[in-house]
Every structure is written in structure tokens, then in C-alpha cells.
Amino acid sequence: MSYFEDLQKKITSKTAHVGIVGLGYVGLPLAVEFAAAGFHVTGIDIDAKKVTLLNRGESYIQDIPTSVLAPLVKSGKLKGTTDFAAVATMDTINICVPTPLRKTKDPDMSYIVNACQEIVKHFHTGVLIILESTTYPGTTNELMLPMFEKPGMKVGDEFFLCFSPERVDPGNAKFQTRNIPKVVGGITPACTKVGALFYQQALETVIPVNSTRVAEMVKLLENTFRMINIGLVNEMAMLCDRMGIDVWEVIDAAATKPFGFMPFYPGPGLGGHCIPIDPFYLSWKTKQAGIEARFIELAGYINGNMPHFVVDKIQNALNDHSKALKGSRVHVLGVAYKRDIDDVRESPALDIIHLLGKRGASVTYSDPYVPHLHADGVVADMTAIDADKGAADADCVVIVTDHKDLDYTRIVERAKLIVDTRNALKGNPSAKIVRL
């Protein structure tokens, strides 16, 4: 029996030992789905705290309730370790590690390289490796394949290598790991086939594509599409502001067109693990090919300037109320990068707080999901205060993240002035509200 046939048999019989490298917001939900589908899953992470919590059955990811995780751990279907020696017993390995940008906007591949170097130490025949970390087209083929393919270890024969982009949307109750269509492309047709077969055991819909490059580009197209359209509508917001036009009313009216228009909404800036970062992987790669990604660069510039636009808006609003920004108390409502989650990665709130501080404002914040703010030097460590008190004490309240749990009626009653960057107070005619 060939390695290909043997691995297919293990996968369909659910006797394959599944490994997940990286137990964050992508890796842990994936591990839970495969454990729930009947596989024995081992997660590997260099963060001992995550591994300890996992082995106690305690979830540290908002989208995975402890009530779901604990029974899988108790049954022995799911466990964690910090030891890459576990790779020796694995039949499949999903790599779900971070891929941040350096300050120079070029990809930081160190997490992928480090994970692969550890895996290689315990690598064996008949294993399927799938990279899920978002990256530039060519990573799987150009960076990973040479690390694994050696004499007697030929891809598509002795081992199998694929790319499958993560599409996780934290806080989305409707679409989660199980029911988000899963794109997968392999180095060879055999790799694609076994990769698709693997995902079909636990996920509802699998979309095979012809190569790892196609799969890598799929994710970048998805997020570049969003980033550019958000950049466009943010620019429209700035134009409408100059012309005294309500951009929110414009968008609502345009959205009544039943074809040819898709509504996007302005905001204080881009945040999260994907949209502010992923398009620059593509921009970096195209520059290597001598092509300039002008849409990406321009949209990045516009979106990057939105926190400055918001702070100018706050300053102008205070001026209209005969107050200077310097010395004023400004209360920020919501610091997560989007509503109803606890994630502050790349959140525009951090830049807004930083800019307000530089202009001499005294800044406080409230967020029901983020009780403490540790922003790695962007801002000083802060602790959330009660939203009612923050609104009542502030000279200006700024709605940066429109969490549903916030009582906006009470906030409007208590606040002296509000700058609403999310249209959270839509329909409220109060003169104290200034909209983006």
C-alpha cells in the first residue's frame, strides 16, 4: 500500500493522529472541530500558559466555550503540549502560527520557519502538512517545500504538502470554522486530494484548487477587496465631511440599488489580524516582480490616516464647544478592533488614544470585553472604567467600537459631547452628537 493510500485510509477511518501547531484563534477552533469529529488531536504551542489551560479544559478563545472544550479534553480526544517531539506520532499537521508584518511592511516569516524547523526534527514519511497562516503567494512552494523535501522524501509520494487559508471571523456567531467553506490547494494533485479529504471529515464545505499559489492568493484577494473598499468609503467620509454631507445617509440610500453596489461603511481605521496586514503581503510580493500595487498602497494610506481624521474631528467638536483638546478629558468607548470581541490587535483605538495623549488630552476608556489594555508600547497600560462614569466625567466621549452591550441611551444622557465614528447612535437627533 502506498503512503497516499495508507493516509487516505487513516483519514476516512478517523484513526489519523491530527496535529495542530499554534493554538490561537485559528488553531484551537480547528483542533476542537477535528476532536469533535472523532479524531485524536494534539495541539502544540510554545506558550505554556495556553497549553496548561487547554489541558485543564479551560478555553481562552472567545469563540470556543469552555463547555464545548472541556468534554473533548476529558474524553482524551484533545490535548496540548509544548514538545514538538509529538510530531513523530502525527499523521497530519496544520500550521496555524502568526504571520505579522515588520515595521517596513514586509512579511515576517520567522514563526513559520521556526515551526517548520521544529517539525523537520521529527518528520517522517506518510504525513500531511497544511499551512493555514496567511502569507504571500509562493510561500508553501518556495519556503516550506525545500525544508521538507529530501532524497527519499518526495512531495506527493512520501509526504504531502498543502496550503489552506484560515478564514476565521472572531465573534461571528453565524459563520465559524465548521461552516466557513475551506479552500485547499496542494503542491501536487495527490496533495490536494488528500488535503481536501482531510478537511471533509470535519468541515461542511471544501473547495479544492489547483495549487498552493492559488490558495494563497485567494485569501489575499478576499482581504484586499475589503481593505480597498473600506479605503474608498473612508475617503468618501472625509469628502462628505468637507462638503457638509451625511455620508451615512448617502450609503443607506445607495444601498437601495438592487444591483451593482455593495455597501461598505466608514470607521475610525482598520483593525484585526487580517485586513490591515494581508494586502501588504501581496504588495510586497508584486514589488519583487516589478509591479506596483497602487490600489493597495493608496487604500493603506487612507485607512492609516483615519485615526488622525478622528482626532481632528474630536478637536474641532471641542472647539465648537469653546474647549481646547489639550487639557480636556476624553473618554473612549470600545477599544477592541470590532464589536463584541476582546481582540485589540491593530485596533484603531490604540492610535486614537496615542494621538489624543500627544495632543494633551486626558484619556480614559470603557470596554466590556477588554478590562485591561496592554498595547505593547503604543499606549501606556490602562484599566477600563465604568462607561456611565466615563461619559459623565468626560468633556467628550468617542465611540470607537460599537459593542452591543453598551447602553447608548444612558451614555447620550450623561455625555456633554459625543463623537460617533461608527454611527452607533443612528437616528438620535441630539445636538451633542457629532458623526464621522
Calpha distance 137→51 (Å, rounded) = 31
Q: What is the DSSP code (8-state) at residue 141?
A: I
Output b/e per residue, 243-257; b: 16+ Cβ within 10 A: eeeebbeebeeeeee
| Order of strands, sheet of 92-95, starting from the edge strand that comes earlier in the sequence | 78-81, 40-44, 17-21, 92-95, 128-131, 160-163, 182-186, 206-209
- 326: exposed, middle or buried (C-beta count within 10 Å: 0-12, 13-18, 19+)? exposed
Q: Which three cell numbers stand for residue 166?
A: 484560515
Asked whether the beta carbons of 244 and 190 are under 8 A apart, the reply is no
Place of cell 514538545: 83
Work out whether strand 206-209 and strand 182-186 pair parallel, antiparallel, or are unpaired.
parallel
**Looking at the annotation, which residues are catalytic?**
274
Q: Grid coordinates in use for 321? A: 464647544
